[in-house]
Amino acid sequence: MNPWTPLVVATLGWGSAVVFTRALLTSGVPTLVVVPIRFTVALVLLVAISSSWKRFRGMDRRHWVRGVSLGVVALAMPNILFTMGLEDLPASIGGLLVALIPVATIVPALAALALAAIACATLIAYEALRYPFARSWIRSHRGEFTMEEARRVAPRRGAAPLEAESASEASADRPTAGY
């Protein structure tokens, strides 16, 4: 099988669903009948594909139960609401809304990722500025430093002081507010 075949079939099914749903609704079929018809067609196709594809033959019964449960919960309610919306909307606007679903999924995910990156950068900056002399040390080095210099400015708790410093000087450089 050509690897593009499933993608083309899925795209055709995805794009034609709005047109067929709108056609059923304009012919007088109620919303709560259209959705079960769509799900029955999808179930027949799923059983036909899964029985002919080796990959799905060895699946355990509990996987099928979980898949059906997820399909009922995650697909039934949005499909009912979408079909109710198509009662008053033209098929072109409905198709546009369906086409925007991936964008509406990706944009919030990217926004959440950006917020997580900002939070991480803020926490790193906060931790770096908690140590005494960290701000002036960061400014003076402009990103060029060694681990020895970092340990000299902010030694770890419980670490032996460096040879050049006495124990009292090493403890004086440690932050008082802490962990």
Residue 88 belongs to some domain of the structure: yes
User: What pLDDT, on a 0 to 100 scale, did the predictor assign at position 95?
Assistant: 80
| Nearest CA-CA partner of 151 in 130, 172, 174, 135 | 174
Q: Note the pTM of the prediction, 2 decimals.
A: 0.47
12 falls in which pLDDT band (50, 70, 90)?
confident
pLDDT tens figures, 88-119: 888 888 888 877 777 777 888 888 999 999 99
pLDDT tens figures, 129-141: 776 666 666 667 6
Same domain, 91 and 13: yes
Range of the domain at 30: 5-99
Residue 62 belongs to some domain of the structure: yes
The first and second tokens of residue 162, run together, are 């460096």
Rounded Cα gap, residues 141 and 110, in angstroms: 34
Same domain, 42 and 81: yes
Rounded Cα gap, residues 45 and 51, in angstroms: 10
Summary mean pLDDT of the chain: 76
Residue 179 belongs to some domain of the structure: no
Stronger pLDDT, 30 or 76, i.e. the higher one: 30
Same domain, 61 and 133: no
Query: How far is the CA of 166 from the CAs of 26, 89, 136, 177, in angstroms?
Result: 87, 79, 23, 22
Residue 178 belongs to some domain of the structure: no
Q: What is the 3-state secondary structure (H, E, C) of 67-95?
A: HHHHHHHHHHHHHHHHHHHHCCCCHHHHH
Q: Report yes or no: 173 and 153 within 8 Å, Cβ to Cβ.
A: yes
Same domain, 63 and 119: no
| Nearest CA-CA partner of 151 in 135, 166, 131 | 131
Domain termination site, one of 42, 65, 99: 99
* Mean pLDDT in residue range 70-74: 82
Same domain, 94 and 116: no
Same domain, 114 and 91: no
The first and second tokens of residue 122, run together, are 């803020």
Instruction: Give how many domains the chain has, as a whole number.
Output: 2
Domain termination site, one of 99, 122, 141: 99
Same domain, 94 and 110: no
The first and second tokens of residue 43, run together, are 């179930």
Percent of the chain at pLDDT > 90 equals 3
Residue 51 belongs to some domain of the structure: yes
Query: How far is the CA of 112 from the CAs of 8, 14, 106, 126, in angstroms?
Result: 31, 27, 10, 21
